Amino acid sequence: MVRTLFLLWLFMLEQQSRYMDALSKNRSCVSFGSNALTEGLEHLQGLILEDGRNGTIQCPHNQCCFGIWDLNQGQLQAKVQGCWISEKEACDSPACEFRSSAAITLSCRCHSDLCNANISYAEPGKKPGKKSGGSEVREEMLSGTGGGKDGGGFMGRQLSKLWQGTFGQQPVAIKVFPPLCHQQFASEWAVYSLPLMNHENVARLVTAGYGGPSEEHCGLLVLTLYPLGSLRNFLSHHICSWDISIRLGSSLARGLAFLHEEKRKEGLHKPGVAHRDLSSQNVLVREDRTCAITDFGFAMTLPLRHEQSRKDPAEAIAGAQRYVAPEILDENLNLQDVGSALRQADVYSLALVLWEILMRCSELFPENSIPAFQLAYEAELGSNPTYSELRRLAVEQRRRPIVPPAWTRFGQVAISLQELLEDCWDPEPEARLQAECALQRLQRLGTEDLVHFLNRTLPGHCQSGCVFISVIH
């Protein structure tokens, strides 16, 4: 039964992917009443592109058409039409449809040329016809990024599930969001769909849409498959060499720096993005042992440097508790500059994940004494710390995961490693490194040959017969 349903959903997504492909080209939309921007934002909570004329407008990549109408005694009157992009909800229909007959103000979002010229409505509960196709889903769950140890967060999220399948002859991971997680699904889809979001250290979206056997359709994200799974799963089963550890860490920092960066190219604009839920569970490992950041259900696009955020301050609290920055645990986030504050909180999370990576590095521990994988703060607080325990440890006591004394034998390298971690998890958010700076430091550390350094500084130690167990090269 499960396999049949997924076959059906994948076929529907293959049809929808044609529309996703079309988003890479300019979209023609009807433009009317462009001075009514305030009303548009009130109804759609999106970004409306202002245009000085009525008629048609060319919308940049990744934008949809929208429209708002008043319904008065059975007559529709257009109030505003134009281009729209949402940070909150997906624009998944090619037609301008409104599924209610009780409202007096109707709105729609659609993604085909001039689709917002008119609006149609269907009675609540109507379902489109469905067809099956030639996609394949294996009846097996992946070692996913949505569950496992320490999966809980502040917002009581119901976790998504991951399945493996094929889509257009390509192996994929299918992330299925239950109906109660619609907001996270829409947020994640919106982030993946931002202009200029393609990056080797960010998981790649193949397509997305809705599907399901009942009225409560699930949100579906189809992602490139990363067979090695999450970074947490990878570190649990592998000990890594110095080179691989630095490769994992620097690629993770590179991906985060890319997310935080504003980017403009050929008229397109990628805003800065705060992940807000960075952990070793929400990072995937590529076959070349580099990282790809995923799980953008709590991500937030950031205001320009000179702008104030329009976000609700309550939305600042998100993510798995273990990796949440002290200023968020203490409810003391700087909401006057929320863009910088959320970037700094991400860097704190980055430091904890870097610590987890380095704790599985063979060359940093003598005589094969590499400890078993542990999450940050697991030694201090166990596998399921409470909010109050984390707050007491990270905020009141200002403690951080222990840097092992064994690292000190590497002299300046050890000093640089400890400084990197301390400068990323500093109690004062403004004192933390930017992700780009953390990347640069990791790249410099990557030029060090630890085995050569150890042999040179400690003659007679580990010069022969030194075997590191299960080291990944």
Six-digit token string for 258: 């890319």
Q: CATH fold of 23-110, please? A: CD59 (2.10.60)
pLDDT at res. 164: 80
Backbone angles phi, psi at 232, to 5 degrees: -60, -45
pLDDT tens track for 6-55: 665 565 556 555 544 544 456 777 777 644 333 333 333 333 333 334 56
C-alpha 418, offset from chain centre: 27
At 242, the amino acid letter reads W
Question: Which of 92, 113, 277, 426 is an active site residue?
Answer: 277
Contact indicator for 322, 150 with CB cutoff of 8 Å: yes
Q: How many residues in total does the chain contain?
A: 473
Cα–Cα distance measured from residue 31 to residue 374, given in angstroms and rounded to the nearest whole number? 56
Angstrom distance (rounded) from CA 82 to CA 378: 51
277 is a catalytic site residue: yes
Q: For residue range 59-93, list pLDDT tens digits in order.
A: 765 677 878 777 776 677 777 777 775 555 567 77
Alpha helices in 205-362 (DSSP H): 231-237, 242-260, 326-329, 338-358
Which amino acid, one-letter code, is at 104?
I
For domain 228-455, the CATH architecture is Orthogonal Bundle (1.10)
In order along its 473 residues, the chain shows pLDDT tens digits of 556 556 655 655 565 555 445 444 567 777 776 443 333 333 333 333 333 345 667 776 567 787 877 777 667 777 777 777 555 556 777 778 765 445 567 778 887 777 777 777 544 444 433 222 334 544 344 544 444 445 434 433 446 778 888 777 788 888 888 877 778 888 899 999 999 999 999 999 998 887 654 445 678 888 999 989 999 999 999 999 999 999 999 999 999 999 999 999 988 899 999 999 999 999 999 999 999 999 998 999 998 655 555 555 445 566 678 999 999 999 888 888 899 999 999 999 999 999 999 999 998 987 778 999 999 999 999 988 998 999 999 999 999 999 998 888 888 888 999 999 999 999 999 999 999 999 999 999 988 766 565 555 544 443 332 223 344 44
H-state helical runs in 109-267: 182-192, 231-237, 242-260
Q: Where are the domains of the chain?
A: 23-110, 228-455
E strand or H helix at 76, and its extent?
Answer: strand 75-86
Residue at 87: amino acid letter: E
Other C-beta atoms closer than 10 Å to the C-beta of 401 total 20
